Structure 1
């Protein structure tokens, strides 16, 4: 399974280094980089059974400048109705020794 993230501003696709956007307060801003982690991935199939992606395979960096790089998951075959994940890294994982921060 491959995950694809579509970053938008209002109703427009987000484009790095291509001008400015205006937020709800009327302030303008530009975006030069957009990077974040996703972790703790869980898929729920159509009968409600959850598949928790193993911790050592459940951490990915999403980088808008590398649109071709998409997280790929090895999951059991099935029909899935939901996908849940955490934006960022959970506090327990971030305090583990470096040798245990796999994924």
Structure 2
């Protein structure tokens, strides 16, 4: 009887010890930087000065390039997801502002990740301005709002081009959702080129190439001669939005 009691007592101690270990286990967190590299034919773009040619043989320059990145999610090989806090998950990338092209995400759960998912623009749940007090001033300062009622511009792409008659003509492409009738928000998932390891002591970078010429030459081909000003446009803006969703590619990781 004493022997049985001793065995039971020992088992209870082991169980209690394991329970205490579980209770004292705490999650750890690190950081990651998303480095967006806007390119044309893998070369970095130069605003105003450089000239480019699209597949419609239109020669153009770029005076402004801005877009909204949102709703970042990191995904492990087993499918487990880490969702970056939504109220901190809206960012503006502005080609003219170097620092804006590197987005630092803190408090990422440590572990190994093989995919990343993010949105281009603002999803309908936050449309037009709900629950985004931290981001609204940034959008206003960068003229990425149509109005308080119309909502956000997801991508602003402007410049000039040489028309077929030889004239130099301005172009303007502003893509966003238009109320609930036309949802141009795109969410994309990228395979990472290698495993992203998040640790407490390191801050790895994911280099994401953004192929700007796909605005014209993605799944849909767009000629500026056909339409050189696109804003609230139910015909052309969904096609450009589809092209935008095809611009991004994760090319390297520095762990």
Same fold, judged at TM 0.5 (above): yes
Q: Deviations over 1:16-38 (max 9, x none)?
A: 12221100110011111111101
Alignment coverage as a number of residue pairs: 101
Residue 237 of structure 2: aligned partner: none
**Aligned equivalents of 1:96, 1:19: Cα separation in 2:** 36
Q: Deviations over 1:55-79 (max 9, x none)?
A: 1011000111112232111211111
1:90 paired residue among 123, 139, 143:
123
Higher relative contact order (CA 8 A, sep 6+): 1
Deviation beyond 6 Å, 4+ runs, structure 1: none
Gaps of 5+ in 2: 1-31, 136-255
Q: Deviations over 1:44-99 (max 9, x none)?
A: 023321111111011000111112232111211111111111111112212244xx
Larger radius of gyration: 2
Give 1 or 2: higher helix fraction.
2
After superposition, the CA RMSD in angstroms is: 1.5
Residue 65 of structure 1: aligned partner: 96
**Aligned equivalents of 1:62, 1:96: Cα separation in 2:** 19
Give 1 or 2: higher strand fraction.
2
